[in-house]
């Protein structure tokens, strides 16, 4: 489910079934050199999580991307988010990101780090198949966590 008003009604009534949160973590880099790749990573991350949501709509709640800047204190950020997720009662929380810095944040469990693929020049069908390939790598991680 998406984090939108309509889905929240369903979420509240089916809380037992929707036990997994997905939080995209997105680094904003607005410097001239980094702007484009940051935007591309954002596009990639959001299409991937949207496809994931479509596949697992009934079990995951997809949150809007948490955006932070390059120098953000990732440890503090992860503490804040994970404690909020815990309060909400999610059994499983996945963080998806293209930002390599998260690999050094030890406390956060289930961080799925994926290298961003620039999809801006691909035509629609090709992009779709590339994203599906990416999705296929992510799905087993969810199934494994759930089983």
Partner 1 sequence: MSNNRVSRRQFLGYTLTGVGGFMAAGMLMPMVRFAVDPVLQQKGAGDFVLTDQRVEDITEEPVRVDFTFEQTDAWYVSEVTNSAWVYKEGDKLIALSPVCKHLGCTVNWAGDPEHPTQFFCPCHAGRYEKNGQNIAGTPPLGPLDEYLVEEQDGYVAIGAVRPNTLV
CB of 114 to partner 1, least distance (A): 20
Least distance from C-beta 4 to partner 1, angstroms? 11
Question: Which residue, 17 or 76, has its beta carbon nearer to partner 1?
Answer: 17
CB of 2 to partner 1, least distance (A): 11
Q: Which is nearer to partner 1, 119 or 128 (CB)?
A: 128
Least CB distance from residue 57 to partner 1, whole Å?
4
When the beta carbons of 47 and 110 are compared against partner 1, the nearer one is 47
Residue 28's Cβ-side half-sphere holds a number of Cα atoms within 13 Å equal to 7
Give the list of residues 6+ apart from residue 4 with CB closer than 8 angstroms, or none.
none
Q: Residue 114 contacts by C-beta under 8 Å, 6 or more apart in sequence?
A: 44, 45, 48, 96, 97, 98, 134, 137, 138
What would you measure as the largest C-alpha separation in the chain, in angstroms? 46
Give the span between the Cα atoms of 103 and 132, in whole angstroms.
Answer: 24
Site for partner 1, rule CB under 8 A: 10, 14, 17-18, 54-59, 124, 128, 139, 143
Cβ distance to partner 1 smaller for residue 61 or 96: 61
């Amino acid at each position: 489910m998406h984090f939108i008003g309509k889905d929240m009604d369903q979420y509240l009534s089916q809380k037992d079934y929707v036990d997994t949160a997905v939080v995209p973590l997105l680094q904003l880099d607005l410097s001239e050199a980094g702007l484009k790749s940051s935007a591309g990573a954002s596009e990639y991350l959001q299409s991937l999580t949207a496809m994931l949501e479509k596949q697992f709509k009934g079990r995951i709640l997809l949150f809007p991307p948490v955006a932070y800047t390059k120098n953000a204190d990732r440890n503090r950020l992860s503490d804040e988010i994970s404690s909020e997720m815990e309060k909400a009662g999610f059994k499983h929380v996945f963080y998806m990101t293209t930002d390599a810095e998260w690999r050094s944040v030890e406390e956060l469990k289930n961080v799925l780090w994926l290298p961003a693929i620039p999809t801006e020049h691909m035509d629609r069908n090709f992009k779709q198949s590339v994203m599906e390939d990416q999705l296929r790598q992510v799905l087993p991680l969810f199934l494994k966590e759930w089983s």
